[in-house]
């Protein structure tokens, strides 16, 4: 009863705080935006809850522009931002930070020492130590490893091509391949070294962060108005299945990380050459200046295992779906791959224009994290590339932001912004990268680490593994498209939903994308 009383008290305090905020005049009330159908949930029902991704945001952006106002829970005003200058400022300025609820969830799942969780100087130090493992040179050394993953992928796909099988669900096959790549690159161990139970734990973790329901959305929204010290109480009320899944994954990651790191340190003590996997690189730095401690390295295990696995698998699945919709382009890409084979092997992935245009367009249209939340920790001015028309008809080129204002980085909407990508921004058209149509508008923005896209974010929170993700897509797509053809079934009912990351969901609500697959070589 005491715990229930504590939670009720906290929720009540958050509710009263929200009502107090509502009595104040909104500092962004002069910014236009869509009406809300619910005072309690605001526009969250349209954006985050049971929503096919993008069915509202893209229309809102076209009507109101790249900066507009949406309603949060209990009518509190929030900003939806896809203006490139504003996004860049939010991602690079010290005036914005992760909201308390986001930081708390990351700490609960990944630990307080994870690179996803730490802030300030601790974050900068972690990034500095991790950067060498994700440099261009280090990633290029992984091409043979990814080649082995591609061979395994082909073998698994061929085993699924049974005579009476009409379709194959590509999601679990690709998830196994990307997990194999991550385990070898980070820990130097084979996918087969993980037992079925461990793999199941990871799959369950991804399902845990599936589509948010109304109660979950409401609680997470209220959490941002509570003092940080009180947030741990919410962990006591986490549903038992979710808590068990998180605990199991954390235990598995701890055991895997401890075993791997101890092996690397033992090799060093014996004067043996350490592996070039990520843990080997970090272990070599431990005794040097700025190196991470034993516990700090272990704390990165789960985030390194998870961050680049499910996101890449989902992106590859969505890429194959686009190829299936366009058999002409699919054949052109296959011809490019075959024409660059030397003794049955492909080299020089960066020299394949169609392949790289296709990857860029996939990452543009399907960013793994299309929405990200930030909160202003001080008063600031938000610069705008495109003038904003207020409700009174005034045009402004800079927007004053008050401390405490929540902003939603609409990264997916930015990458559909017609003013940047052209009138066909909603279309999936890889040719735009060969025609270089975005160059005049997007190139000058210098956003993100890859192709001026925000798929990997920008600023201090730029995705560490973006080079690995791009190379992995290059290698696996060449293997898949070079040897198989892909088509969608006639009764395809898959929808794209935002559930922590973009993922394909079947009509049953389960993640998956059944496809018709045939061997071509």
Q: What is the pLDDT of residues 82-118, one digit of tens each?
A: 999 999 999 999 999 999 888 888 898 899 999 999 9
Is the model more confident about 484 or about 287? 484
- Given a cut of 60, whether residue 440 has pLDDT beyond it is no
> What residues form the annotated binding site for heme?
463
Tell me, what's the pLDDT at 193?
62
- Given a cut of 60, whether residue 442 has pLDDT beyond it is no
**Highest mean pLDDT, choosing among 96-100, 102-106, 379-383, 435-439:** 379-383
CB atoms within 10 A of CB 502: 22
Tell me, what's the pLDDT at 43?
78
Tell me, what's the pLDDT at 36?
86
Q: Which domains does the chain have, with CATH numbers?
A: 25-519 (1.10.630.10)
Helices (H), 162-195: 170-182
> What are the tens digits of pLDDT across the range 215-272?
667 777 777 777 766 677 667 666 777 778 888 888 888 988 999 999 988 988 888 7
Q: Return the SS3 of 410.
A: strand
R_g of the chain computed on alpha carbons? 23
Tell me, what's the pLDDT at 439?
45
Residues, the chain? 521
Is the model more confident about 14 or about 373? 373
pTM higher than 0.85, yes or no?
yes
Distance (Å, whole) CA 514 – CA 171: 8
Contact partners, residue 349, CB within 8 Å, separation at least 6: 355, 356, 471, 474, 475, 478
Distance (Å, whole) CA 387 – CA 66: 9
3-state percent helix, strand, coil for the chain, nearest multiple of 5 = 55, 15, 30
CB atoms within 10 A of CB 3: 10
Tell me, what's the pLDDT at 60?
95
Structural tokens at position 123: 């974050």
| Mean pLDDT, range 149-171, rounded to an integer | 90
Among 446, 486, 473, which Cα is nearest to 366's? 473
Provide DSSP, 2-41: HHHHHHHHHHHHHHHHHHHHHHSPPTTTTS-----S-TTT
Distance (Å, whole) CA 64 – CA 400: 18
Tell me, what's the pLDDT at 498?
83
50 band by pLDDT with thresholds 50, 70 and 90? low
Mean pLDDT lowest among 61-65, 305-309, 366-370: 305-309
Tell me, what's the pLDDT at 25?
65
- Given a cut of 80, whether residue 18 has pLDDT beyond it is no
- Given a cut of 90, whether residue 31 has pLDDT beyond it is yes
Tell me, what's the pLDDT at 20?
55
Contact partners, residue 216, CB within 8 Å, separation at least 6: none
Mean pLDDT (the chain, rounded): 85
| Mean pLDDT, range 158-171, rounded to an integer | 88
Q: What DSSP state is assigned to residue 294?
A: H
> What residues form the annotated binding site?
463
Is the model more confident about 76 or about 362? 362
Tell me, what's the pLDDT at 1?
41
Distance (Å, whole) CA 360 – CA 474: 11
Residue tagged 């893209």 (tokens) = 58
CB atoms within 10 A of CB 391: 11
| Mean pLDDT, range 292-307, rounded to an integer | 89
> What are the tens digits of pLDDT across the range 395-431?
999 999 999 999 999 999 999 999 999 999 999 999 9
Contact partners, residue 88, CB within 8 Å, separation at least 6: 445, 447, 458, 459
């Amino acid at each position: 009863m005491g715990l229930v009383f504590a939670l009720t008290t906290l929720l009540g305090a958050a509710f009263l705080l929200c009502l107090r905020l509502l009595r104040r005049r909104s500092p962004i009330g002069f910014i236009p935006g869509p009406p809300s159908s619910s005072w309690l949930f605001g526009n969250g029902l349209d954006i985050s809850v049971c929503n096919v991704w993008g069915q509202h945001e893209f229309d809102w952006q076209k009507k109101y522009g790249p900066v507009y106002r949406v309603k949060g829970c209990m009518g509190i005003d929030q900003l939806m931002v896809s203006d490139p200058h504003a996004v860049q400022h939010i991602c690079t300025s010290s005036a914005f930070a992760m909201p308390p609820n986001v930081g708390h969830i990351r700490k609960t799942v990944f630990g307080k020492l994870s690179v996803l969780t730490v802030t300030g100087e601790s974050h900068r130090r972690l990034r500095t130590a991790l950067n060498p493992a994700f440099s261009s040179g280090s990633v290029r050394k992984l091409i043979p490893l990814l080649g082995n993953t591609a061979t395994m992928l082909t073998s698994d796909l061929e085993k699924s091509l049974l005579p009476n099988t009409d379709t194959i669900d590509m999601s679990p096959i690709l998830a196994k391949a990307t997990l194999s790549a991550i385990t070898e690159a980070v820990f130097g161990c084979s996918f087969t070294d993980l037992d079925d139970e461990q793999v199941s734990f990871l799959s369950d973790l991804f399902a845990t962060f599936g589509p948010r329901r109304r109660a979950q959305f409401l609680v997470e929204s209220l959490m941002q108005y509570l003092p940080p010290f009180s947030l741990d109480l919410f962990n006591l009320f986490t549903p038992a299945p979710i808590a068990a899944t998180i605990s199991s994954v954390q235990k598995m990651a701890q055991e895997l990380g401890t075993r791997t790191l101890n092996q690397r340190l033992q090799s060093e003590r014996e004067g043996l050459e350490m592996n070039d996997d990520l843990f080997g690189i970090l272990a070599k730095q431990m005794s040097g200046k700025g190196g991470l401690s034993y516990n700090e390295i272990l704390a990165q295990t789960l985030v390194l295992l998870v961050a680049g696995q499910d996101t890449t698998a989902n992106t590859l699945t969505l890429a194959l779906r686009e190829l299936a919709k366009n058999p002409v382009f699919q054949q052109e890409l296959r011809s490019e791959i075959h024409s660059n084979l030397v003794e049955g092997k492909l080299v020089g992935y960066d020299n394949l224009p169609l392949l790289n245009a296709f990857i860029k367009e996939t990452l543009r249209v399907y960013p793994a994290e299309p929405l990200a939340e930030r909160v202003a920790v001080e008063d600031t001015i938000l610069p705008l590339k495109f003038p904003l028309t207020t409700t009174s008809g005034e045009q402004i080129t800079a927007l004053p932001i008050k401390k405490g204002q929540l902003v939603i980085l609409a990264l997916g909407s930015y990458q559909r912004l017609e003013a940047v990508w052209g009138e066909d921004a909603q279309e999936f058209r890889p040719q735009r990268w060969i025609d270089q149509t975005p160059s005049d508008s997007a190139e000058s923005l210098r956003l993100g680490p890859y192709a001026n896209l925000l798929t990997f974010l920008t600023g201090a929170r730029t995705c560490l593994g973006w080079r690995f993700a791009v190379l992995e897509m290059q290698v696996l797509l060449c293997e898949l498209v070079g040897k198989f053809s892909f088509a969608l079934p006639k009764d395809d009912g898959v929808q794209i939903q935002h559930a922590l990351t973009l993922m394909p969901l079947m009509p049953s609500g389960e993640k998956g994308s059944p496809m018709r697959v045939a061997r071509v070589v």
